[in-house]
Structures are given as C-alpha cells and as structure tokens.
Amino acid sequence: MLTAAEYSQEITLLPADNQRLSNFCGQLDIHLRQIEQRLHVDIANRSNHFKITGVDAAVKAACAVMQKLFDQADKEEITPEQVHLSLQDASIDQLLQTVPAVKSDPVAIKTKRGVIKGRGENQQEYLRKILSHDINFGVGPAGTGKTFLAVACAVEALQNETVRRIILVRPAVEAGEKLGFLPGDMAQKVDPYLRPLYDALYDMLGFERVEKLLEKNVIEVAPLAFMRGRTLNDSFIILDEAQNTTTEQIKMFLTRVGFGSTAVITGDVTQIDLPSEKMSGLKHVLKVLKDVEGISFTFFGVRDVVRHPLVQRIVAAYDRYEQEQTS
C-alpha cells in the first residue's frame, strides 16, 4: 500500500530486445539497483515492462534516466559508471533536496548467521544511510555498534553480489604506519589493528569462510599507508579508527573511492592517539565535508552504547570529566 507521498508509473522500453535489455539492466539487475538506491525508488519489471514507485519527482526522473540508458544500450555496453553519469547529468542531487522524506520501515541486514537489526533509531538511521549513500561517516564512542553494523552491510553486499570484495582499512598509529619490521605478509603485519573487524566477520560468516575469502583476496586487509595510488571499484571499503588518520591521509582515502563502491568511515574523536602536534583527519573532515551532498553522517552518543551497562557509564563519566576540564 502506497503512502500519500508515493506514486507509481509504468513504462515499456521498446523494442523488446532481450540482449539490449540485459545490457541495460546489468548482471543481476545491478544497474536498476543503482538507480533505486540513488533516487530512493522501487523498480519492478517483467521483461521490458517496468513499474517505478516512489515520490513523484523521483519516479519521473527515474523514468527519464532509464529511457536514456536503454537508448544507449543499443550501441554500447552499459556500465555502473554510465549509470552514475546519467544520474548526474539529470541533476539528481538538486532533485533529492526537494523530495520530502518518507518514513522507512526498520532495516534488517541478512547474513548467513542470521538477521541483524539496528538497536534504536540512531542505529536504524545509520543502516539506512549506508544503504543509500556511497560515502558514510559513523562517529561516536566505543560500543555503539558503528563498526559491527558497517561490517554487516559489507557482508550483505558481498552475498548479494552488489560488490566484488570487502576492503578493511585501519591506520596503524602505534607502529607509525612503518610496518616493515614486523614479521609476515601485509595482512599479518596489520592484523593486530584489525581485530574488531575480523571478530565481526567471524560472527557473520564463520571462521573457515572468512579464511577462504582472505586467501582469494575477496576480503582484503590493508594499512592506510598502502592505499595511495589505488582506485577501488565495486568494493565495500571500511576505514576503522579514522580519528587516528592525519588530514592528508583521510583526503587520500576518500579520493580512492571508485564506481560501484561504498565507503564507511568510523571513529571516535575522543580517543585520538596521534602525536599532539597532528590534527585528527576525522575531526577536520567533519568540518570540511559537512555540507557536501551525497555524503552521510551519523553521530552516536552515550545512549547508543550497546555493550555492558558499565561501558555506558564509563563513557558518560569521561564526557562529564572533559566538560568540567574545559569549563
């Protein structure tokens, strides 16, 4: 049943050519899912007949973009990059600013080990934003689920084949990013800094499955310093402990994000381990990018802590102490 803010439109793309239609929709309808996520619409189809549901303006924009891409599909291969550029040419970002928000159902992330749901409205909103934005920031104290939920979204995206790999990144501050003196390969060198991410993966996929995916490089671990010069397409990238990045490092990381990728940056600005003369890249980027369209921010507080009740009290006590010191 549609809400008052929603509307449906049906279109038929002609001619009914299966090869052209397959090119237009993409493998496993990945191009349709891309349009859905960007415009917040639902697209259902049977052969070349499509039904688009959502807010009026977004539905009309989706129909126009789909017709344009179907026309192109006769002459060239449609890629996620072309879908992105077609949406950009249609001034989608300006359109989305005028689309009224529609209350969403609770988000449930399905993994092989069960269904994961956000606890409370803030975690629910965090999940919604990750599913609908390419770059997302989750900022708040320990125990608020920001890293665990990001890994859950990454696992679901991999299982649904909307991404080809998961990339886990973390600044290794204690070793000054110079990890060469540690024994082992790159994964073994950075392993101690990625334990929380591994723990979440083991919970959702199981130890043996994670180890196989690591061997095949479907799950990749990398210290932040090794990201320079790369462009990451069709990937789900998680940068954890981002408060320990420098301003140069986080800019470098954000400019690695390619087409078909989702990035989640998590951190706690109250636990910065950088030398005192260096500014936290996370604190800096929150000011620089706060008004950039298409980037989401979720801020967690003491009430969002989902660990042992004592953790919540500890976080609250530190907050009070720091406020007293600054007042």
Same domain? For 45 and 117 the reply is: no
| Residue 156 belongs to a domain | yes
Position 143 scores a pLDDT of: 83
Tell me the pLDDT band of 251, cut-offs 50, 70 and 90: very high
pLDDT digits (tens, 9 = 90+) for 79-136: 888 888 788 776 665 555 555 544 456 788 887 767 888 877 889 899 999 988 999 9
Under 8 Å between Cβ of 30 and 162? yes
Three-state secondary structure call for residue 89 = helix
Same domain? For 158 and 94 the reply is: no
Q: Of 43, 45, 48, which Cα lies nearest the Cα of 8?
A: 43
Same domain? For 33 and 74 the reply is: yes
For residue 60, count other CB atoms closer than 10 A to its CB: 16
**Burial of 247 (C-beta count, 10 Å sphere; 0-12/13-18/19+):** middle
Under 8 Å between Cβ of 73 and 24? yes
Residue that is last in its domain, among 98, 131, 150: 98
User: What CATH number has the domain bearing residue 65?
Assistant: 3.30.1370.10
Q: How many domains, in total, are found in the chain?
A: 2
Dihedral (C-alpha) 215, 217, 218, 223: value to the nearest 10 degrees? 120
Q: 14 lies in which domain range?
A: 6-98
Residue that is last in its domain, among 38, 69, 98: 98
Q: How far apart are CA 40 and CA 98, in angstroms?
A: 13
Same domain? For 262 and 148 the reply is: yes
Q: What is the C-alpha radius of gyration for the chain, rounded to an integer number of angstroms? A: 21
| Residue with the two structure tokens 């397409």 | 233
Q: How far apart are CA 198 and CA 108, in angstroms?
A: 21
| Residue 317 belongs to a domain | no
What is the torsional sign of CA 149, 155, 160, 165? positive
| Residue 324 belongs to a domain | no
Q: Is 24 a residue whose pLDDT tops 50?
A: yes
